A and B are shown apart, each in its own frame.
Chain A
Amino acid sequence: MDYLPNILFAIILLFGLGFFAKNVQRLVRNIKLGKDVDVSDNKSQRWKNMARIALGQTKMVVRPIAGFLHIIVYVGFIIINIEVLEIILDGILGTHRLFSEPLGAVYNFLIGSFEILAFLVVVSVVIFWIRRNVIRLQRFIKPEMAGWPKKDGNLILYIELILMFLFLTMNGADYQLQQMGAAHYASEAGILGSFPISQFLSPLFDGMSISSLIVVERTAWWLHIVGILFFLNYLYYSKHLHILLAFPNTFYGNLKPKGQFKNLEAVTNEVMLMMDPSADPFAAPAEDAPDPEKFGASDVVDLNWVQLLNSYTCTECGRCTSECPANQTGKKLSPRKIMMDTRDRLQEVGENIEANKGSFVDDGKQLLDDYISREELWACTSCNACVEACPVSIDPLSIIMDMRQYLVMEQSAAPSDLNNMMGNIENNGAPWPFNQMDRLNWAQES
């Protein structure tokens, strides 16, 4: 009977990790629906970018307040997770503070710093909540944030808050139990761990018997670890995957100048054929020639996998949207919504595949029109402000451009002004209706 908690813990742990593995599988499958793109170049630069942008948070601090608070929560979560390792081992082995003996004085220092970090995380999370719900910062109340995205954002803050409180409660009760000399808790080596924050919870536990304190400590301990496993699995259903995906996303981020848009190879082949005087314009395509490639993107499977990874990495912070000139002047375009729509549609396609035993069954929907409207796409000035603003190297502009390519090259559905402009370029080599032969006239004018 004594082993029951250990076994129960092991089962919960395996279930939690197993379900997470399943979600990772889904994630990888969905991302791989994207087209292949070669990002194997410049490995060293890519590692540097990941270290600088994701690990070093260099782009977060462009906005100092949010950046500073984010670093606290980020460092807090990473470092407190060292403690989770001990919690897991204690859970399996039925031990109490397993690392205290081998680590000695260092252990006390570690637990103490975890507590201080936990407290700072609580403070930061509260400020984050106030920014979203009381101050109601512009970028958190844009139309695309209505409903689930807003709830999702708050829910994550609540979970983080609860986890930190459980961690501190667990420590506080433990400290009390150790002082009372409770069996299994107290050690001959003295107090294990140091509790600079949770000691202030002591008044709450005053007068409680050892057995009720154990109930408090065990409850907090169990809820804390189960909460962590829940949070791990909540990621896939939320906007919060950035805590994992920021790393690959910054690694695979664009290394070229931001103004350089890729040249479509399929188009180059066509153009070269047209320019080739020896090509037979009436030649039938070879029997085994593949179907001509679709130009641009109308659905998520037309995008490349890095763009799809981008969409899962987006945590809806809205820095892109708040820097977007179109959005600032009241247009419908919001780069954040482009990313959210891409992810939502990708998720829908993924669920479709799952429901139909591994193959996608046409649902009569696509990313264009059903999610992203043409009005949004045509409002973009391609100024790269959104790309520059993203703290994790997401590129909403590339998706907008791919979708414009589909509209123009597959559907001939450009706004009529742009058709005029393109007609002029075709006919007289300038976006305006001037004669090519007048191109040097300025030299004769005074």
Chain B
Amino acid sequence: MAELFAAGQQPEVLFWVGCAGSFDDRAKKITKAFIKILNNANVSFAVLGTEESCTGDPAKRAGNEFLFQMQAVTNIEVMNAYGIKKVVTACPHCFNTLKNEYPGLGGTYEVVHHTQFLKQLLEEGKISLEGGTYKGKRITYHDPCYLGRANNVYEAPRDLIRKLDAELVEMKNCKKKGLCCGAGGAQMFKEPEKGDKDVNIERTEQAMETQPDIIAAACPFCNTMMTDGVKNKEKEASVAVMDIAELIATAGDL
């Protein structure tokens, strides 16, 4: 972003990579897949790079409003300085925080989740999805809480999966009744409380009931939780956990 700005250019959209997308080995693959699609569609975009910092979402959900607002205000200063208008992110937690909680602190942008953005690219004809790769594959989609219930985005990711010529199979708890993967509310960063089983195992069992070839996710944290769940069931050889961006990048052979 700094380079574009120095050259006096303004990107169409800022890609907010997020902490998982920047540092987590699994999530970095999602970042790269999404970048491939953006480049292929000739989207003018930029990333903040080392000027990006945690949105503060996990701090806020853990109850540390102070740390959240410090993060938010710092990020807003950076984004406002660059005159950012539109933000796209592959993380529903960043998406929710940027879209809903930043405006009250002085950061108002048009924020979209990458599944919404990809759907728009598809509708504008900037990317095309040649089926084939996923023809006849059973894909079940796990709704991230912060995309689905929190922000009512249920159809964009599903529309993309349908376009892949794949068979979309729903779990018994989906959309508004979707079961959490167990990572939200800062649970990702702590041990779970005592119970009968872990939430991600329960959710993975629901996913397995649909006998999928692929569990599609749209959140790096859900991805981790579901991947762990699949490993726990020793099914990693037959069931893949993939982000929507990865599905599309692979389908387009990018």
Contacts and interface: CB of A to CB of B under 8 A. Distances in A.
B63 interface: yes
A325 B71 contact: no
B23 A432 contact: yes
Contacts of B178: 385
A436 B53 contact: yes
Interface in B178-194: 178-180, 182-194
Contacts of A387: 149
B50 A267 contact: no
B52 interface: yes
Contacts of A388: 149, 176-177
A382 interface: yes
A445 interface: yes
Given A267-B65, A380-B185, A326 B49 contact: no
A98 interface: no
B43 interface: no
Given A425-B54, A442-B32, A381 B63 contact: no
A409 B64 contact: yes
Interface in A251-273: 256-261, 263-264, 267-268, 270-272
B182 to A, nearest CB: 6
Interface size of A as a range: 35 or more
Interface stretch (A176-184, A299-307, A364-372, A400-408): A400-408
A437 B48 CA distance: 12
Interface string A46-82: 0000000000000000000000000000000000000
A438 B49 CA distance: 9
Contact of B64 (A384, A408, A417, A440): A408
Interface in B97-131: 99-101, 104-105
B185 A382 contact: yes
B60 interface: yes
Interface string A424-439: 0110011110101111
Contact of A382 (B61, B64, B104): B61
Contact of A425 (B49, B56, B73): B56
Contact of B65 (A260, A326, A333, A409): A409
A258 B202 CA distance: 24
A164 to B, nearest CB: 34
B141 interface: no
B100 to A, nearest CB: 4
Given A384-B150, A437-B50, A401 B186 contact: no
B70 A418 contact: no
B14 interface: no
Contacts of B28: 442, 445
A326 B183 CA distance: 11
Interface string B29-40: 001100000000
A259 B193 contact: no
B19 interface: yes
12 contacts: A263-B104, A267-B66, A381-B183, A382-B61, A385-B149, A385-B179, A388-B177, A415-B190, A421-B59, A422-B64, A429-B19, A431-B189
Given A417-B189, A439-B22, 5 more contacts: A381-B183, A385-B177, A401-B61, A403-B63, A418-B190
